[in-house]
Chain A
């Protein structure tokens, strides 16, 4: 076995071990920390699978922002008291669940090893159509050109998630702002992080969005980094979450899907079909749409972490 294969095997074992830790840990906080570590290890797996765009997304959103969400909510639950409210499952239920889990995992593993050869793929078609889009990153092409309909609908799903989260507020605080993300006033290391890291992070985010047209990256990854920067600033209390009734916030949240929808609607005039782009002019339009997507993602992810409004609008 070569060194690389040994490393791969080690990585696989590590991923499974940390995943097992996430399930088995007694304390909620330990479980969440395990999950964040798991996400980072998973990003390395994605690199090994030649999927740098996915690795970036997993690290930023799957592990990063989800981690912030779970840690913040775990802390809120703990502060409110009584986290361990329910009785654990009995041994018979555990046995049955384990049997089912082993069955499903074994069936999956068998089927995966028996997938047909030669593997079917859309890579050649994706390559053929790539020239028309002017992009060099095929994943971006799939997301914003070939299957743009999926991506636009997914942006609308994000808006719905925000509406759903906000709808969980008590009536009397509607229009107000969510609770602050952080606890203490900024000081020491956190302040330094804000001053040094955040401006850099914003530049990195914009850069990753911009180069995503031709290299690994794109709107989701860049937007997630910008979202993380806003969250850092909110966690360190340099700025507070905005009121949910604020018009600018609403516009920022819908800008991505709205621009996408509008451009898609204009498709018949430009490229012959809805969501088609005019030949030769596709890349600028794609970047235009992606810019607004970055804005929306950077606004949506922190608002989903911040949660429903908790303070009356008058404050």
Chain B
């Protein structure tokens, strides 16, 4: 089994792991981590495609690699936006949940969730 196939399998497994984490974990911050995992799995698929594309010119195909670089930067920006939303939600309501029925009460220190 060469490196490309191995890395491809790792990428597939990462997508599965990330998908599981995205669905199952209730905390939004953990969902963001899971999304990053899926993203890196997708990038690995691009990566093995690039490696398989080795030709006389270079030992890799540069186009998928450039796409991965773009993707990593965009994924970071997405994480930053999500994190800022989560923090703001925490400030406004005192808890972080995706439950749509969130009352707009001010955060009460030390109070537990009714």
- List chain A positions with a Cβ less than 8 A from chain B: 5, 8-9, 12, 15-16, 19-20, 22-23, 28, 31-32, 35, 38-39, 42, 45-46, 48-51, 53-54, 57-58, 61-62, 65-66, 69-70, 73-74, 76-77, 80-89, 93-94, 97-98, 100-102, 104-106, 108-109, 112-113, 115, 119-124, 126-127, 130, 138-139, 141-143, 146-147, 150-151, 154, 157-158, 161, 164-165, 168, 218, 220, 301, 304-305, 307-308
**Interface pair A165/B81, CB less than 8 Å apart:** yes
Chain A positions within 8 Å of B27 at CB level: 28, 83-86
Ordered by A's residue number, 13 sampled pairs between the chains whose C-beta atoms are within 8 Å are: A12-B10, A28-B27, A38-B37, A51-B68, A61-B73, A69-B83, A70-B33, A74-B29, A80-B91, A106-B16, A120-B53, A142-B66, A165-B80
Q: Provided the pairs A42-B40, A73-B29 are in contact, do residues A85 and B95 lie with their beta carbons within 8 angstroms?
A: yes
What is the distance, in angstroms, from A157's C-beta to the closest C-beta of chain B?
6
Encoded as 1 (CB less than 8 Å from any A CB) or 0, chain B from 12 to 55 comes to 11111111110111110110111011001001110111111111
**Interface pair A45/B44, CB less than 8 Å apart:** yes
Complexed CA–CA distance, A218 and B83 (Å) = 27
Complexed CA–CA distance, A222 and B99 (Å) = 41
**Interface pair A80/B90, CB less than 8 Å apart:** yes
**Interface pair A105/B12, CB less than 8 Å apart:** yes
Encoded as 1 (CB less than 8 Å from any A CB) or 0, chain B from 65 to 81 comes to 11111101111111111
Closest 10 CB pairs of A and B: A105-B16, A121-B53, A127-B57, A86-B26, A108-B12, A161-B77, A304-B80, A138-B62, A123-B55, A112-B8
- List chain B positions with a Cβ less than 8 A from chain A: 1, 3-21, 23-27, 29-30, 32-34, 36-37, 40, 43-45, 47-63, 65-70, 72-81, 83-88, 90-91, 94-99, 107, 109-110, 113
Chain B positions within 8 Å of A54 at CB level: 43, 47, 65, 68-69, 72
Chain B positions within 8 Å of A45 at CB level: 7, 10, 44, 47
**Interface pair B6/A77, CB less than 8 Å apart:** no
Residue of B7, B59, B84, B86 with highest tally of chain A CB at under 10 A: B84
Complexed CA–CA distance, A104 and B45 (Å) = 14
Complexed CA–CA distance, A61 and B87 (Å) = 21
